[in-house]
């Protein structure tokens, strides 16, 4: 694979891939990274360094996925159409390309946090709630498994209380597997 070198400032990100220069004008850019394995550029935006909006762009410069915590909007492209969802209290969201699923973590406000899985066409795949006495922090991977990192429950002998819970992509079931660092 060709390398992708990028440059960014708070309102602009540029990169070159296969002799094509891509330049995007996006406000309040805080962080940019290359996700080589999944072949996209990951852009995090927000005022005062908050992580309010996240975008994924293909190396060719096409938008693949976005979520906006403030507006509660999660969107992605599938078969030439944009799929948009209105979600409540988005904590984190991620497109898992190889597994053909979009996962959204929602803040439960007065109830348990929710994890919701969607097929790429936007259809509901599963819905589940945070384990008792836990709050969702973010989506991750551990040992090649999709996980939800949760905080709460009992601390270990060192006071650590953030845990990876493996997410079953068929049922939404969460199984505690190991500490999150």
Q: pLDDT tens-digit profile of 63-112? A: 999 999 999 999 999 999 999 999 989 999 999 988 999 999 999 776 78
3-state secondary structure of 180: coil
Residue 63 in any domain: the answer is: yes
Residue 154 in any domain: the answer is: no
pLDDT of residue 2: 66
Rounded mean pLDDT of 103-129?
92
Residue 64 in any domain: the answer is: yes
DSSP 8-state class, residue 43:
E
pLDDT of residue 34: 93
Residue 150 in any domain: the answer is: no
Residue 28 in any domain: the answer is: yes
Which domain covers residue 61, as residue numbers? 5-131
pLDDT band at 25, cuts 50/70/90?
very high
| Residue with more model confidence, 110 or 170 | 170
Q: What are phi and psi of 86, to 5 degrees?
A: -95, 120
Nearest C-alpha neighbor of 134 from the set 176, 92, 96:
176
Residue 164 in any domain: the answer is: no
pLDDT of residue 107: 92
pTM above 0.75, yes or no: yes
Residue 179 in any domain: the answer is: no
Q: Rounded to whole angstroms, how far apart are CA atoms 151 and 139?
A: 12
pLDDT of residue 56: 97
Number of domains into which the chain is organized: 1
Token couple for 176: 């505690």
Please give the sequence-ordered ranges of beta strands (E in DSSP) within the chain, or none if there are none.
5-9, 12-17, 20-25, 29-35, 40-45, 53-58, 63-68, 73-78, 81-86, 90-96, 101-106, 114-119, 124-129, 134-142, 145-152, 162-167, 174-179
- Asked if residues 52 and 44 have their Cβ atoms less than 8 Å apart, the reply is no
Q: Rounded to whole angstroms, how far apart are CA atoms 34 and 43?
A: 9
Check whether 6 has a pLDDT greater than 70.
Answer: yes
Residue 45 in any domain: the answer is: yes
Round the average pLDDT of the chain to a whole number and report it: 93
Q: Rounded to whole angstroms, how far apart are CA atoms 138 and 124?
A: 20
pLDDT band at 59, cuts 50/70/90?
very high
DSSP 8-state class, residue 61:
S
- Asked if residues 13 and 6 have their Cβ atoms less than 8 Å apart, the reply is yes
Rounded mean pLDDT of 117-140?
95
Check whether 1 has a pLDDT greater than 80.
Answer: no
């Amino acid at each position: 694979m060709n390398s992708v070198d990028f440059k960014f400032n708070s309102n602009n990100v540029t990169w070159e891939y296969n002799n094509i220069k891509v330049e995007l004008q996006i406000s309040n850019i805080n962080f940019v990274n290359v996700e080589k394995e999944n072949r996209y550029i990951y852009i995090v935006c927000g005022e005062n360094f908050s992580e309010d909006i996240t975008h994924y762009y293909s190396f060719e410069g096409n938008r693949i996925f976005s979520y906006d915590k403030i507006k509660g909007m999660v969107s992605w492209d599938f078969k030439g159409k944009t799929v948009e969802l209105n979600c409540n209290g988005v904590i984190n969201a991620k497109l898992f390309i190889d597994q053909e699923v979009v996962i959204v973590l929602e803040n439960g406000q007065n109830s348990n946090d929710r994890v919701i899985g969607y097929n790429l066409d936007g259809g509901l795949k599963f819905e589940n709630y945070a384990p008792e006495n836990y709050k969702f922090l973010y989506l991750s991977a551990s040992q090649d498994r999709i996980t939800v990192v949760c905080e709460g429950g009992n601390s270990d002998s060192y006071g650590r209380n953030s845990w990876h819970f493996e997410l079953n992509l068929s049922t939404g079931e969460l199984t505690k597997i190991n500490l999150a660092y």
